[in-house]
């Protein structure tokens, strides 16, 4: 029999509604998996000791006829997002005594849907940079090889999902913070359209780039999560699941990664194979150019660091000693910027958003890489100088387009992720395409050798 902890959200939801399993049994299976695997992966930083009682409340909802797909489903929350009564450290010694007084908006919506909160998950300090071994909690480790990083900053969310401790978790994404860990850990990361999911109750990094979104074992589960936490009035992300790809128009932005010397051969092959697979499923693949990535990254970096410094300026004045060195170095970049730098970056943001929309016109989706390499080893971060992990995620925080990352291959037994991008509000097309790719391949069903 399948371990309850391995049941997909739709499978578990069906069995809960028919009474074949109970919410408490499902939650206890997740807690047992956490007890067995978290010491190795360091994904969960704070356990919710009331999880079983929450499961009993969810059971009462089901017994009363509540058929919401997340009712009774165990979920983890990145420790940048408030959960009432649980520590809210944002991964920093500065907030080691902070406890959330209320649920973040997305968490409140999960609770309303009957989800069971398992606890808080590791994050890079204030969602900025990592991994950092000098913080109160150790960095999360990649389930495929614990000697390698998870990516960040939603490090614990990806490690917990890929490590089989839960099927879905909440993360945040300001420059790829949900999508890069998903790519490195072989799970699904979904950054919604800007403004679709409220960020209230999530400690801000850069408010004009911040997003809250799901990390999940499959695209369908990510879509179910998004529909539970998003605002009303958007097309349901799960609304087109199961549809085919015949006639779908996909622009393949191959030059964005193929022309970059940082791209490893395995990533290039995996993306080419993914484009071929989508073509065999009926999609029309066309090579397209996108705005210069370096310009996108530079503009987004200026905005992110300027806004981050504004948020932390007063805290640093009184508590600089409680910050990790990498975060202080990152904030120093913001201090070097002047008003003209920020004004020029915002003008570039407007121009690049228009250019991206023009480049995507005539296409349903764009395909590109998520990361240019598999997850790096922790040993690469032992020196004093910063290590760059080349990504292709931050432009879509700048433009607000929804983006989905899902596994598409392996290199040296480490996952590779592809990224699909859609027009604003078209998460349904995004998820339908990702789910069709999953059905045609076996990448999402492969699990790390735990």
pLDDT tens, residue by residue, 421-450: 999 999 999 999 999 999 999 999 999 998
Q: What is the pLDDT of residue 388?
A: 72
Start-to-end C-alpha separation, the chain: 19
| DSSP state for residue 125 in the 8-state scheme | B
254/19 Cα distance (integer angstroms): 49
The pair of three-digit structure tokens given for residue 165, joined into one six-digit string: 């401790």
The reported pLDDT for the residue numbered 389 is: 82
pLDDT digit string, tens, across residues 149-187? 999 999 999 999 999 999 999 999 999 999 999 999 999
Q: What distance in Å separates the CA atoms of residue 370 and residue 113, rounded to the nearest whole number?
A: 31
Structural domain includes residue 306: no
Does the residue 112 lie in any domain?
yes
In a domain, 395, yes or no: yes
Structure tokens at 219: 């695209």
Active-site choice (13, 153, 206, 444): 153
Burial class (CB in 10 A: 0-12, 13-18, 19+), 162: buried
User: Do the domain assignments include residue 311?
Assistant: no
Which has the closest alpha carbon to 427: 408, 403, 405?
403
The confidence score (pLDDT) of residue 384 equals: 64
Q: Is 327 a member of any domain?
A: no
| 301 located within any domain | no
- Could you tell me if residue 309 is inside a domain? no
Out of 8, 78, 154, 155, which one is annotated catalytic?
78
In this predicted structure, what is the pLDDT of residue 81? Answer: 98
Known catalytic membership, residue 78: yes
pLDDT at 1: 54
> In residues, how long is the chain?
450
Map 348-400 to HEC letters: HHHHHHHHHHHHHCCCCEEEEECECCCCCEHHHHCCCCCCCCCECCCHHHHHC
Counted domains in the chain: 1
Catalytic residue among 13, 154, 177, 193: 177
| 314 occurs within a structural domain | no
Q: What pLDDT was estimated at residue 2? A: 77
pLDDT for the residue numbered 382: 84
Active site residue 177: yes
In this prediction the pTM is 0.97
Q: What is the pLDDT of residue 359?
A: 97
Separation CA 49–CA 35 (nearest Å): 13
Q: What CATH number is associated with residue 81?
A: 3.90.1300.10
pLDDT mean by block of 10 residues, the chain; 450 residues: 91 98 98 98 98 98 95 98 98 97 98 98 96 92 98 97 98 98 98 98 98 98 98 98 97 95 96 98 98 97 98 94 94 95 98 97 97 95 74 97 98 98 98 98 93
Of 286, 293, 216, give the one whose Cα is nearest residue 251.
Answer: 286
Active site residue 413: no
Tokens of 115: 């989800």
The domain in which residue 391 lies consists of: 4-294+341-445
């Amino acid at each position: 029999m399948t371990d309850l902890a391995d049941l997909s959200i739709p499978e578990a939801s069906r069995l809960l509604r028919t009474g074949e399993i109970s919410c408490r049994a499902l939650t206890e299976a997740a807690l047992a998996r956490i007890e067995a695997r978290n010491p190795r992966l360091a994904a969960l930083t704070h356990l919710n000791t009331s999880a079983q009682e929450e499961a009993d409340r969810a059971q009462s909802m089901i017994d009363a006829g509540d058929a919401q797909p997340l009712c009774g489903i165990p979920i983890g929350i990145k420790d940048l997002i408030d959960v009432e009564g649980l520590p809210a450290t944002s991964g920093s010694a500065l907030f080691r005594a902070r406890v959330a007084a209320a649920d973040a908006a997305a968490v409140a919506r999960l609770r309303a849907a009957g989800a069971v909160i398992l606890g808080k998950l590791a994050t890079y300090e204030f969602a900025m940079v990592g991994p950092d071994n000098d913080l109160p909690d150790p960095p999360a480790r990649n389930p495929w090889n614990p000697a390698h990083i998870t990516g960040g900053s939603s490090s614990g969310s990806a490690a917990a999902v890929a490590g089989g401790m839960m099927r879905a978790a909440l993360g945040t994404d300001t420059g790829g913070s949900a999508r890069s860990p998903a790519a490195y850990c072989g799970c699904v990361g979904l950054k919604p359209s800007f403004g679709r999911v409220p960020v209230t109750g999530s400690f801000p990094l850069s408010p004009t780039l911040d997003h809250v979104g799901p990390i999940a074992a499959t695209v369908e589960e990510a879509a179910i999560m998004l529909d539970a936490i998003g605002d009303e009035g958007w097309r349901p992300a799960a609304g087109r699941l199961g549809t085919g790809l015949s006639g779908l128009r996909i622009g393949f932005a191959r030059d964005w990664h193929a022309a970059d010397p940082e791209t490893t051969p395995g990533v290039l092959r995996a993306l080419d194979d993914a484009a071929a697979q989508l073509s065999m499923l009926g999609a029309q693949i066309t090579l397209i150019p996108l705005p210069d990535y370096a310009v996108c990254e530079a503009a987004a970096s200026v905005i992110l660091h300027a806004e981050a410094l504004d948020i932390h300026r007063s805290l640093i004045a009184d508590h600089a000693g409680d910050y990790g060195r990498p975060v202080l170095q990152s904030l120093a970049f913001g201090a070097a910027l002047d008003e003209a730098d920020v004004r020029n970056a915002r003008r570039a943001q407007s121009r690049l958003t228009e250019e991206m929309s023009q480049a995507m016109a005539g296409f349903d989706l764009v395909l590109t890489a998520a990361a240019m390499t598999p997850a790096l080893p922790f040993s690469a971060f032992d020196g004093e100088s910063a290590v760059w992990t080349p990504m292709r995620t931050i432009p879509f925080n700048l433009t607000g387009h929804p983006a989905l990352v899902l596994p598409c291959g392996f290199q040296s037994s480490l996952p590779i992720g592809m990224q699909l991008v859609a027009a604003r509000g078209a998460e349904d097309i995004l998820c339908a395409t990702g789910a069709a790719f999953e059905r045609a391949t076996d990448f999402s069903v492969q699990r790390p050798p735990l």
